[in-house]
Amino acid sequence: DIQMTQSPSTLSASVGDRVTITCRASQSISSWLAWYQQKPGKAPKLLIYDASSLESGVPSRFSGSGSGTEFTLTISSLQPDDFGTYYCQEYNNYPFYSFGQGTKLDLK
Task: CB nearer to other proteins: give 49 or 83.
Answer: 49
Q: How far is the CB of 32 from other proteins (least distance, A)?
A: 7
Q: How far is the CB of 53 from other proteins (least distance, A)?
A: 10
Q: Exposed, middle or buried by CB within 10 Å (0-12, 13-18, 19+), for 43?
A: exposed
For the segment 1-40, give every residue that binds other proteins (CB under 8 A): 32, 34, 36, 38
List, in sequence order, the alpha helices (H) in 15-60. none
Residue ranges that bind other proteins, judged by CB under 8 A = 32, 34, 36, 38, 42-46, 49, 55, 87, 89, 91, 94-102
